[in-house]
């Protein structure tokens, strides 16, 4: 194999690193052997109770220092102590540590506090056990099934080293601030605003002039590759997409490549087309060049654009980056059965004229593709499917199985000037959660609803008869612990042939919901890691650098540099400030190693646990991941689908 | 069992989907997403017709197949597909939105022109009365300033105005609230009875035919109006 190894250790932009705040007392030495995941044990009251008295804090801090060293060097020892002494546990994302309080034989611990807290946190015991167990299962040393308390306590959370927006403010329509770290603007060629992710009309108006000037500069200079303006001083990047009569602009400080931004703009443009179709769009503007498109778009369109923008900017949405679909892991035999049933049903309904049913899809919750029915030689473009998935997960989230939808959608990559008609029905789910899978039947004929309805009714009855619906609803994906690959925090494996990817569940504290600010912060963090990893294997035009690549990327911080970075306007979230203000915050040292591995067959993007700095160790795990994915390929991916 | 096709028409965000959901599931959702395309639902009710037919003493089950269409202008060209075979049309407006009644009038005109069938029951519905409980009609003229912050919105269309229009056009009329459920069930009851009256002869003859055919008393009657217009002409 041609391994093109690039080490980027020194290339990490310093300003993106976060300083460690050592405070005015000796920093906790976090010394981990290279192959060991990071551990940090923190013993402090202030994490949990705002009103802790200063005396107590000092007390506890001294305890903290001694035990943390102790428990690091003898992880097993510390862990074998009774759980009653583990009083609190908190895993804040950017604290990145499982803070365990084990004050076992420490006489310095005032008994008063222990008593006070024991009832407060008594029910934490079980919770902690399970969460600690979750957080360590990627350790090779952990024996599955053995008693939890014999396991080492480690955190496999990853540090936040990027300058990211505070997710608390992400959804706030803060009108005063147009220039965010990321923004999307859509204009017409005549300079009328159509959509802006942030900022009101009055504020973005001034941009129209700028954008138009820039675009006409591009036009005057003939077809040129120049689509992006980058300023290195501020790290700003402005990328333009000219789809006259529509102009789109992305502004970003997040270090995305121009190609990535162009893809994102193209996705926004595709949404507009999916709603209007290109033919209609051109017709609207052919009559009047200064047509105000906003009069034609509806509230739903703006809501959907908002949703798509926030998906692109704030969520872990590798679909666009990797240009592939996420697939529902499903037992191979069940998937075959599912495909068989769909084909049988198609055979049975010979009365449905050929061509009425173009595609059939079953989409599991969280937009995972479960099954495809398609004509031979035709597949749907991933962009088209992403658009459909976005609609299903957002627009129709309030609907249930009692209604069936008939929705005209233009699939821009299939045919940008015409509409297809989608029969959408949510499938019944006995479980209480609000997760529904959907059956989508796509037709080119606008009056095919009732024939597709019968098709669907019979198919759903069969699926229920064969208990396949239950299986779809019960399919839960996989966890990192299912794979014997130690030291790995998270990975994305893309099968190139199938244009599909899989990734394990997020390794996130179970008490944090994915929609909470912490959950969003985690997604954003993970997203940024992957973005940078992916950036190392592609050219600026989006093509892979070479057929086979193996890149290691290292993110690390050095304390001295960090203090200088601090002066450059690093911002902390409120919680950070609070913790730092109480001198209890110990910034974990950052030693992250990521890996991008591209071969003609697959792409693997992998993030190691913090503290894993040995490339060999990570590569060994990566091979295990790849072996596992290839072994379970028929379960993880849809290879052909039901072809008729 | 009788089966009737029903379509909801009207401007966007007047509350068509909310009315349907109140009827079908008896729920109300403040934050309903706009419908795109159209949604198909069904719900059955029992009516008690006074026609002296002994077979119907226990009441007649009427199943409504409902097309809840999108009010947005963009989907207007698809509407004929939904109302073409309908037995009844609910034309909805928002009593706090002046121009939604005009849109409703346009729909009524379109129905009368394109369908041109006296058997089509058209029901004019003013929705959102819960917003205007505090402002009786008499005060409308005095209410001139628009207070945006106030939940209590100003009634923009008086009951008399709409009622008069409905009488002129021969429409059924009612003001309802999908939020409180006020009047919603009654609409469908009324439509069921009205359609039953209109189709009584047809229904009875079909019933007899099926019973004579030895269908074990299971009577399923689909009343589909013949298509009144060329399917290609309505979707231009």
pLDDT digits (tens, 9 = 90+) for B201-230: 777 777 677 656 544 445 555 655 554 444
Mark yes or no for CB contact A300/B72 under 8 Å: yes
Which of B21, B39, B229, B232 best probes binding to A when mutated, by most A CB atoms within 10 angstroms?
Answer: B39
Tell me, yes or no, whether A428 and A453 share the same domain.
yes
Q: Could you tell me if A422 and A441 are in contact, meaning their C-beta atoms sit under 8 angstroms apart? A: yes
Interatomic CA distance for residues A474 and A331, integer angstroms = 11
A367: left (phi over 0), alpha (psi -120 to 50) or beta: left
Q: Where are the alpha helices (DSSP H) in chain B?
A: 16-24, 79-83, 98-114, 159-169, 184-198, 200-212
Which of A295, A298, A305, A457 best probes binding to B when mutated, by most B CB atoms within 10 angstroms?
Answer: A298
Task: State the nearest Cα–Cα gap between B173 and chain A, in angstroms.
Answer: 27
Mark yes or no for CB contact B37/A407 under 8 Å: yes
Interatomic CA distance for residues B7 and B87, integer angstroms = 8
Calculate the CA dihedral of residues A227, A233, A235, A238 and round it to 10 degrees: -30
Name the residue facing A298 among B68, B74, B231 (closest C-beta): B74
Tell how strand A438-443 and strand A420-426 pair up: antiparallel
pLDDT tens-place string over residues A194-236:
998 887 777 777 777 777 787 777 777 766 556 777 777 777 8
Tell how strand A359-364 and strand B172-175 pair up: unpaired
Which of B36, B38, B77, B78 best probes binding to A when mutated, by most A CB atoms within 10 angstroms?
Answer: B36
pLDDT at A453 (0 to 100) = 92
More confident call, B233 vs A43: B233
For chain B, what percentages of helix, strand and coil (3-state, to nearest 5) are there?
40, 20, 40
Which of A396, A397, A402 best probes binding to B when mutated, by most B CB atoms within 10 angstroms?
Answer: A402
Tell me, yes or no, whether A336 and A467 share the same domain.
yes
- For the ranges A4-18, A242-256, A541-555, A589-603, the lowest mean pLDDT is seen at A4-18
Mark yes or no for CB contact A406/B13 under 8 Å: no
The band of B135, judged by pLDDT with boundaries at 50, 70 and 90, is low
Task: State the nearest Cα–Cα gap between B23 and chain A, in angstroms.
Answer: 13
pLDDT tens-place string over residues A435-461:
788 999 999 988 889 999 999 999 999
pLDDT over 70 percentage in chain B = 75
The band of B66, judged by pLDDT with boundaries at 50, 70 and 90, is very high
Q: In the 8-state DSSP scheme, what is residue A50?
A: T
Mark yes or no for CB contact B72/A406 under 8 Å: no
pLDDT tens-place string over residues A585-598:
445 567 888 999 99
- Kind and range of the H or E run holding A417: none
Task: State the nearest Cα–Cα gap between A379 and chain B, in angstroms.
Answer: 24
Q: How many domains does chain A have?
A: 4
Q: Residue B11: its chain A contacts at CB < 8 A?
A: none
Q: Has residue A89 got a pLDDT over 70?
A: no
Q: Residue B21: its chain A contacts at CB < 8 A?
A: none
Residue A533 sits in which domain range? 480-636
Distances (CA, A) of A493 to A412, A596, A601, A637: 27, 10, 11, 11
Interatomic CA distance for residues B42 and A521, integer angstroms = 43
The band of B85, judged by pLDDT with boundaries at 50, 70 and 90, is confident
The band of A77, judged by pLDDT with boundaries at 50, 70 and 90, is very low
More confident call, B31 vs A145: B31
Q: Residue B12: its chain A contacts at CB < 8 A?
A: 298-299
The band of B166, judged by pLDDT with boundaries at 50, 70 and 90, is very high
Both tokens of A83, joined, read 């759980």
Q: Has residue B46 got a pLDDT over 60?
A: yes
pLDDT over 90 percentage in chain A = 21
pLDDT at A564 (0 to 100) = 34
Tell me, yes or no, whether A502 and A623 share the same domain.
yes
pLDDT at B224 (0 to 100) = 59
Both tokens of A386, joined, read 């992403």
Asked whether residue A643 is domain-assigned, the answer is no
Numbered residues of chain A with Cβ closer than 8 Å to any chain B Cβ? 275-276, 296, 298-300, 303, 391, 394-399, 402-408, 421-422, 446-447, 449, 453
Residue B213: closest CA among B223, B201, B205: B205
pLDDT tens-place string over residues A23-47:
333 333 333 333 333 333 333 333 3
Q: Could you tell me if B116 and B32 are in contact, meaning their C-beta atoms sit under 8 angstroms apart? A: no
pLDDT at A625 (0 to 100) = 93
Both tokens of A432, joined, read 């209480």
Tell me, yes or no, whether A193 and A308 share the same domain.
yes
Q: What is the mean pLDDT of residues A376-385?
A: 89
Residue B10: closest CA among B114, B119, B127, B96: B127
Mark yes or no for CB contact A298/B78 under 8 Å: no
Mark yes or no for CB contact A453/B40 under 8 Å: yes
Query: Scanning every residue of chain A, which has its alpha carbon at the shortest distance from the alpha carbon of B34?
Result: A300
Q: Has residue A6 got a pLDDT over 70?
A: no
pLDDT at B105 (0 to 100) = 92
Residue matched to tokens 């569940």: A505
Asked whether residue A45 is domain-assigned, the answer is yes
Q: What is the mean pLDDT of residues B68-84?
A: 86
Mark yes or no for CB contact B37/A402 under 8 Å: no
Mark yes or no for CB contact A407/B68 under 8 Å: no
Numbered residues of chain B with Cβ closer than 8 Å to any chain A Cβ? 12-13, 24-25, 29, 31-34, 36-41, 68, 72-75, 78, 81, 231, 235
Count of other CB atoms within 10 angstroms of residue A119: 8
Mark yes or no for CB contact B38/A396 under 8 Å: no
Q: Residue B31: its chain A contacts at CB < 8 A?
A: 398
pLDDT at A601 (0 to 100) = 92
Q: Within 13 Å of residue A541, how many CA atoms lie on the same side as its CB?
A: 5
Task: State the nearest Cα–Cα gap between B52 and chain A, in angstroms.
Answer: 35
pLDDT at A265 (0 to 100) = 93
More confident call, A561 vs B176: B176
Return all residues near B95 (Cβ < 8 A) that are at least 6 apart.
Answer: B126, B127, B128, B129, B131, B132, B155, B156, B157, B162, B175
Tell how strand A182-188 and strand A246-252 pair up: antiparallel
Count of other CB atoms within 10 angstroms of residue A429: 19
Tell me, yes or no, whether A271 and A334 share the same domain.
no
Q: Could you tell me if A511 and A299 are in contact, meaning their C-beta atoms sit under 8 angstroms apart? A: no
- For the ranges A393-407, A518-532, B56-70, the lowest mean pLDDT is seen at A393-407
Task: State the nearest Cα–Cα gap between A560 and chain B, in angstroms.
Answer: 52
Tell me, yes or no, whether A197 and A292 share the same domain.
yes
Which of A277, A297, A406 best probes binding to B when mutated, by most B CB atoms within 10 angstroms?
Answer: A406
pLDDT at B152 (0 to 100) = 60
The band of A493, judged by pLDDT with boundaries at 50, 70 and 90, is very high
pLDDT tens-place string over residues A531-586:
889 988 888 777 888 888 898 988 876 543 443 333 333 444 444 444 444 444 44
Distances (CA, A) of A554 to A32, A287, A396, A493, A612: 17, 55, 42, 20, 10
Name the residue facing A446 among B13, B34, B78 (closest C-beta): B78
Residue B231: closest CA among A447, A325, A542: A447
Tell me, yes or no, whether A446 and A507 share the same domain.
no
Compute and round to an integer the Cα radius of gyration of chain A: 27
Q: Within 13 Å of residue A361, how many CA atoms lie on the same side as its CB?
A: 26
Distances (CA, A) of A277 to A290, A361, A414, A415, B61: 19, 22, 11, 9, 43
Residue B45: closest CA among B26, B28, B32: B26
- Entry pTM: 0.74
Mark yes or no for CB contact B24/A402 under 8 Å: yes
Q: What is the mean pLDDT of residues A113-128?
A: 46
Average pLDDT, chain A: 71
Tell me, yes or no, whether A486 and A467 share the same domain.
no
Interatomic CA distance for residues A264 and A258, integer angstroms = 10
Name the residue facing A395 among B33, B72, B235 (closest C-beta): B33
Q: Could you tell me if A18 and A556 are in contact, meaning their C-beta atoms sit under 8 angstroms apart? A: no
Query: How deeply is A352 buried, as exposed, middle or buried, from its count of CB atoms within 10 A (0-12, 13-18, 19+)?
Result: middle
Return all residues near A219 (Cβ < 8 A) that are at least 6 apart.
Answer: A242
Mark yes or no for CB contact A404/B25 under 8 Å: no
Both tokens of A523, joined, read 């997604």
Mark yes or no for CB contact B40/A300 under 8 Å: no
Tell me, yes or no, whether A466 and A584 share the same domain.
no
More confident call, A598 vs A82: A598
Mark yes or no for CB contact A402/B74 under 8 Å: no
Tell me, yes or no, whether A118 and A178 share the same domain.
no
Q: Could you tell me if B44 and B104 are in contact, meaning their C-beta atoms sit under 8 angstroms apart? A: no
Q: Could you tell me if A271 and A389 are in contact, meaning their C-beta atoms sit under 8 angstroms apart? A: no
Residue matched to tokens 């008063």: A112
Name the residue facing B81 among A403, A407, A447 (closest C-beta): A447
- For the ranges A110-114, A363-367, B113-117, B158-162, the lowest mean pLDDT is seen at A110-114
Q: What is the mean pLDDT of residues A60-69?
A: 33
Interatomic CA distance for residues A161 and A14, integer angstroms = 10
Mark yes or no for CB contact B78/A404 under 8 Å: no
Q: Residue A399: its chain B contacts at CB < 8 A?
A: 39
Beta-carbon contacts below 8 Å between A and B: 62
Tell me, yes or no, whether A119 and A185 share the same domain.
no
Q: Has residue A298 got a pLDDT over 80?
A: yes
pLDDT tens-place string over residues A422-442:
999 988 877 666 678 899 999
Average pLDDT, chain B: 79
Q: Looking at chain B, how many residues does it have?
A: 236
pLDDT at A23 (0 to 100) = 35
Tell me, yes or no, whether A55 and A96 share the same domain.
yes
The band of A295, judged by pLDDT with boundaries at 50, 70 and 90, is confident
Task: State the nearest Cα–Cα gap between A263 and chain B, in angstroms.
Answer: 26
pLDDT at A558 (0 to 100) = 57
More confident call, B51 vs B76: B76
A20: left (phi over 0), alpha (psi -120 to 50) or beta: beta
Q: Has residue A20 got a pLDDT over 80?
A: no
The band of A484, judged by pLDDT with boundaries at 50, 70 and 90, is confident
pLDDT at B143 (0 to 100) = 43
List chain B domain ranges: 2-235
More confident call, A58 vs A636: A636
- Options 3.30.70.2860, 3.40.50.300, 3.30.1510.10, 3.90.79.10; which CATH number does B2-235 get? 3.40.50.300
pLDDT over 70 percentage in chain A = 64
Residue A96: closest CA among A171, A20, A166: A20
pLDDT at B200 (0 to 100) = 78
């Amino acid at each position: 194999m041609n391994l093109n190894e690039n080490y980027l250790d020194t290339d990490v932009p310093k300003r993106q690193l976060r300083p460690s705040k050592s405070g005015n007392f000796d920093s906790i030495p976090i010394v981990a052997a290279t192959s060991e995941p990071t551990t940090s044990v923190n013993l402090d009251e202030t994490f949990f109770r705002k009103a802790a008295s200063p005396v107590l804090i000092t007390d506890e801090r001294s305890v903290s220092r001694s035990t943390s060293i102790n428990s690091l060097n003898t992880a097993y020892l510390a862990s074998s102590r009774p759980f009653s002494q583990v009083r609190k546990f908190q895993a804040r994302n950017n604290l990145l540590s499982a803070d365990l309080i084990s004050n076992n034989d420490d006489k310095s611990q005032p008994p008063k506090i222990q008593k006070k807290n024991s009832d407060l946190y008594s029910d934490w015991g079980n919770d902690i056990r399970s969460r600690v167990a979750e957080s360590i299962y990627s350790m090779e040393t952990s024996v599955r099934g053995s008693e939890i308390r014999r396991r080492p306590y480690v955190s496999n959370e990853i540090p936040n080293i990027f300058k990211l927006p505070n997710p608390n403010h992400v959804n706030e329509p803060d009108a005063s601030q147009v220039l965010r770290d990321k923004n999307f603007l859509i204009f017409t060629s005549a300079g009328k605003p159509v959509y802006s992710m942030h900022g009101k009309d009055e504020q973005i108006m001034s941009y129209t002039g700028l954008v138009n000037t820039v675009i006409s500069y591009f036009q005057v200079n003939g077809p040129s590759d120049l689509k992006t303006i980058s300023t290195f001083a501020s790290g700003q990047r402005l990328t333009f997409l000219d789809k006259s009569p529509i102009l789109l602009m992305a502004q970003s400080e997040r270090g995305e490549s121009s190609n990535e931004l162009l893809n994102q703009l193209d996705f926004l443009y595709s949404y507009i087309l999916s709603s209007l179709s290109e033919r209609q769009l051109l017709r609207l503007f052919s009559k009047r060049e200064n047509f105000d498109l906003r009069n034609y778009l509806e509230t739903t369109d703006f809501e959907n654009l908002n949703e798509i923008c926030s998906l692109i900017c704030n969520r872990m949405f590798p679909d666009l980056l990797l240009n592939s679909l996420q697939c529902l892991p499903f037992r191979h035999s069940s998937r075959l059965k599912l495909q068989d049933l769909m084909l049988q049903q198609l055979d049975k309904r010979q009365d449905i004229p050929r061509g009425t049913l173009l595609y059939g899809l079953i989409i599991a919750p969280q937009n995972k593709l479960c099954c495809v029915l398609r004509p031979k030689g035709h597949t749907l473009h991933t962009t088209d499917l992403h658009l459909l998935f976005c609609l299903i997960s957002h627009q129709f989230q309030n609907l249930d199985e009692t209604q069936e939808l008939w929705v005209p959608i233009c699939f821009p990559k299939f045919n940008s000037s015409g509409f297809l008609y989608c029969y959408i029905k949510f499938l019944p789910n006995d479980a209480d959660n609000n997760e529904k899978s959907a059956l989508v039947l796509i037709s080119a004929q606008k009056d095919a609803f009732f024939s597709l309805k019968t098709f669907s009714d019979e198919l759903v009855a069969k699926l229920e008869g064969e208990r396949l619906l239950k299986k779809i609803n019960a399919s839960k994906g996989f966890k990192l612990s299912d794979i014997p690959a130690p030291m790995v925090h998270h990975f994305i494996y893309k099968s190139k042939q199938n244009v599909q990817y899989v990734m394990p569940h997020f390794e996130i504290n179970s008490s944090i919901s994915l929609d909470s600010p912490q959950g969003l912060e985690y997604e954003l963090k993970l997203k940024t890691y992957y973005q940078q990893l992916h950036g190392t294997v592609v050219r600026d035009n989006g093509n892979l650098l070479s057929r086979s690549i193996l890149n290691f990327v290292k993110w690390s911080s050095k304390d001295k540099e960090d203090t200088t970075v601090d002066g450059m306007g690093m911002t902390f979230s409120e919680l950070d400030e609070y913790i730092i203000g109480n001198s209890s915050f110990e910034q974990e040292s950052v030693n992250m190693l990521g890996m991008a591995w591209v071969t003609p067959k697959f792409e693997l993007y992998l993030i190691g646990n913090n503290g894993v700095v040995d490339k060999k160790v990570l590569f060994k795990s990566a091979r295990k991941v790849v072996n596992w994915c290839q072994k379970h390929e028929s379960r993880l991916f849809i290879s052909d689908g039901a072809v008729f | 069992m009788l089966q009737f096709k029903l379509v909801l028409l009207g401007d966007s965000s007047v509350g068509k989907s909310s009315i349907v959901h109140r009827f079908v599931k008896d729920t109300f959702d403040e934050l309903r997403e706009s419908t795109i395309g159209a949604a198909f639902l069904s719900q059955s009710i029992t009516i008690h017709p006074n026609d002296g037919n002994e077979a119907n003493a226990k009441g007649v089950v009427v199943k409504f197949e409902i097309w809840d269409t999108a009010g947005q202008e963009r989907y207007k060209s698809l509407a004929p597909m939904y109302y073409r075979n309908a037995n009844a049309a609910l034309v909805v407006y928002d009593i706090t939105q002046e121009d939604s009644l005009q849109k409703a009038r346009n729909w009524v005109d379109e129905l009368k022109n394109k369908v041109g069938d006296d058997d089509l029951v058209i029901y004019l519905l003013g929705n959102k009365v819960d917003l205007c409980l505090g402002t009786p009609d008499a005060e409308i003229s005095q209410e001139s300033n628009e207070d945006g912050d106030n939940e209590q919105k100003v009634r923009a269309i008086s009951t008399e105005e709409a009622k008069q229009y409905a009488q002129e056009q021969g429409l059924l009329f009612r003001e309802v609230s999908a939020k409180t459920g006020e009047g919603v069930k009654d609409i469908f009851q009324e439509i069921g009875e009205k359609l039953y009256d209109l189709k009584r002869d047809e229904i009875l003859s079909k019933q007899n035919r099926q019973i004579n055919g030895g269908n074990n008393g299971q009577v399923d009657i689909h009343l589909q109006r013949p298509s009144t217009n060329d399917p290609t002409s309505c979707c231009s």
